[in-house]
Amino acid sequence: MSDTTTEMALDLEAKRLSVVDPGTRVDVQGEMGDEERVEKAMTNFAKDFGRVAATYMEACIHCGACAHACPFYEASGNPRHTPIWKIEPFKQAYKREAGPLAFFYKTFNLKKNVTLDELKEWQELLYDTCTMCGRCTLICPMSIDIATLVGMARHGMFHAGLVPHELYTVTEKAKREGSPLGATPQVFEDRIEWMGDEHEVEMHVDEDQADVLVLMSSIEIQKYPESMAATAKILNHMGKTWTFRTDGYEATNFGMLSGNTAWQKEMSMKVISAAEKIGAKLVILPECGHAYQALRWQGANMYGKPLPFKVQHISEFLSDAVDAGALKLKTVNTTVAFHDPCQVSRRGGATSAPRKVLDALGVKLIESKSGGSMNTCCGGGGGVITIHRADTLRYKVMGAKFRQLGETGAEMMVTSCSNCRQNFDDSGEKLNWDKTMNSLLELVADNLVEEAEK
In the chain, the N- to C-terminal Cα span, in Å, equals 59
**352-371 binders of another protein (CB under 8 A):** 369-370
Phi first, then psi, for residue 420 (nearest 5°) are -55, -45
Cβ proximity to another protein: between 155 and 173 the closer is 155
Cα–Cα distance measured from residue 7 to residue 382, given in angstroms and rounded to the nearest whole number = 23
- Tell the smallest beta-carbon distance from residue 380 to another protein (Å): 20
Residue 269 makes contact with another protein by CB under 8 A: no
CB of 337 to another protein, least distance (A): 16
Q: How far is the CB of 55 from another protein (least distance, A)?
A: 5
Range 122-151, binding another protein (CB under 8 A): 134, 137-145
Interacting residues with another protein between 310 and 329 (CB under 8 A): 310-311
Distance of alpha carbon 258 from its chain centroid, rounded? 11
Contact 250, 271 (CB under 8 A): yes
59 binds another protein (CB under 8 A): yes
Q: How many chain residues are in contact with another protein, going by CB under 8 A?
A: 73
Residues 293-312 that bind another protein (CB under 8 A): 296-301, 303-307, 310-311
Binding part of the chain for another protein, among 92-100, 193-201, 228-236, 440-448 by CB under 8 A, reads 92-100
DSSP-derived 3-state class of residue 313: strand
Q: What is the rounded CA–CA span in Å between residue 79 and residue 66?
A: 11
Residue closer to another protein, measured from CB, 152 or 195: 152
Specify the residue, 9 or 63, whose C-beta has the smaller distance to another protein: 63
Q: Can you point out the beta strands (E) in 158-220?
A: 212-214
Report the nearest approach of another protein to the CB of residue 237 (Å).
Answer: 26
Asked if 332 and 365 count as a contact pair (C-beta separation under 8 A), the reply is no
Cα–Cα distance list, 196 to 191, 193, 226, 239, 454 (Å): 8, 5, 10, 17, 23
Q: Does 262 bind another protein (CB under 8 A)?
A: no
Alpha-helix runs per DSSP H in 243-386: 254-258, 261-277, 289-291, 299-303, 314-323, 352-360
209 lines the binding site for another protein (CB under 8 A): no
Stretch that binds another protein, among 102-110, 150-158, 329-337, 427-435 (CB under 8 A): 102-110
Task: Pick between residue 67 and residue 278 the one whose CB is nearest to another protein.
Answer: 67
Residues 153 and 172: their CA atoms lie apart, in Å, by 19
Residue 88 vs 391, nearer CB to another protein: 88
How far is 395 from 407, CA to CA, in rounded Å?
18
User: Could you say which residues in the range 17-56 bind another protein, by CB under 8 A?
Assistant: 42-43, 46-52, 54-56
